[in-house]
């Protein structure tokens, strides 16, 4: 077991970030919603209820098409890294830094959560990525970062328990195997919903095009 002082403060380790994968199917739904609104406004031959409603339809469709790409690329703008004992996370345009050796740390729902009482900042690092635990080397690096000698910092007992849990997850193969293959049900449901919306939107557009050409 390495002591806290043995960690090189200049070392940087990239970690799997807490990607919000549900944003991609949500962005896809917004794309189809925008296309649906624009085509329904531009191709509708029925008497209009008013220019204001047509304008609102065009604006809503345009806004959907503008926001959707941001949601789709947002996961690519999210990253995390460990700089010595400092965990740095980036969520789109927000960057947070918390020193794990001085923060209050705990593990909840397969997330390592650290809060700096002085600044009030908090960061979280998922311990599962792509349906499997993080690499053992990453977990051991996090364990070394949160470990502190009792009496030298507040929360030393909790930190020791957290470090022990991280080391157990890194070295306990039966535990790692039991956690492998877990999938985010919310993401799966969102993707199914997105493809259903895509299919219905394409069908609606084809019907409008046939009516418009006839």
Q: Return all residues near 175 (Cβ < 8 A) that are at least 6 apart.
A: 168, 169
pLDDT at position 5 is 44
Q: What is the pLDDT of residues 34-60, one digit of tens each?
A: 888 777 777 765 555 556 666 776 777
Kindly list the strands in the beta sheet with 111-115, ordered across the sheet, starting from the edge strand earlier in the chain: 104-108, 111-115, 122-126
pLDDT at position 92 is 72
Domain boundaries, the chain: 4-17+78-179, 23-74+185-213
pLDDT at position 151 is 42
User: What is the average pLDDT score of the chain?
Assistant: 77
| Better-scored residue on pLDDT, 69 or 184 | 69
Q: Is the whole model's pTM more than 0.75, yes or no?
A: no
Instruction: Assess whether pLDDT exceeds 70 at residue 195.
Output: yes
pLDDT bin (cut points 50, 70, 90) of residue 205 is confident
pLDDT at position 139 is 93
pLDDT at position 167 is 94
Half-sphere exposure of 99 (CA within 13 A, CB side): 9
What's the mean pLDDT in 23-35? Answer: 79
């Amino acid at each position: 077991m390495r002591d806290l002082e043995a960690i090189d403060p200049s070392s940087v380790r990239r970690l799997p970030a807490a990607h919000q994968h549900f944003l991609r199917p949500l962005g896809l739904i917004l794309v189809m919603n925008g296309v649906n609104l624009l085509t329904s406004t531009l191709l509708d031959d029925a008497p209009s209820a008013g220019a204001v409603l047509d304008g609102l339809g065009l604006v809503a469709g345009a806004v959907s098409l503008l926001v959707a790409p941001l949601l789709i690329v947002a996961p690519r703008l999210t990253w995390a890294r460990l700089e010595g004992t400092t965990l740095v996370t980036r969520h789109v345009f927000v960057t947070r830094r918390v020193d794990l050796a001085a923060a209050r740390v705990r593990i909840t729902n397969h997330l390592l959560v650290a809060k700096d009482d002085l600044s009030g900042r908090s960061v979280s690092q998922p311990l599962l990525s792509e349906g499997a635990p993080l690499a053992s080397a990453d977990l051991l690096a996090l364990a070394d970062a949160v470990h502190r000698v009792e009496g030298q910092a507040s929360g030393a007992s909790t930190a020791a328990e957290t470090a022990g849990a991280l080391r157990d997850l890194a070295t306990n193969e039966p535990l790692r195997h039991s956690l492998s293959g877990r999938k985010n049900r919310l993401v799966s449901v969102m993707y199914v919903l997105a493809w259903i919306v895509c299919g219905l939107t394409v069908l609606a557009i084809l019907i409008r095009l046939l009516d418009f050409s006839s």
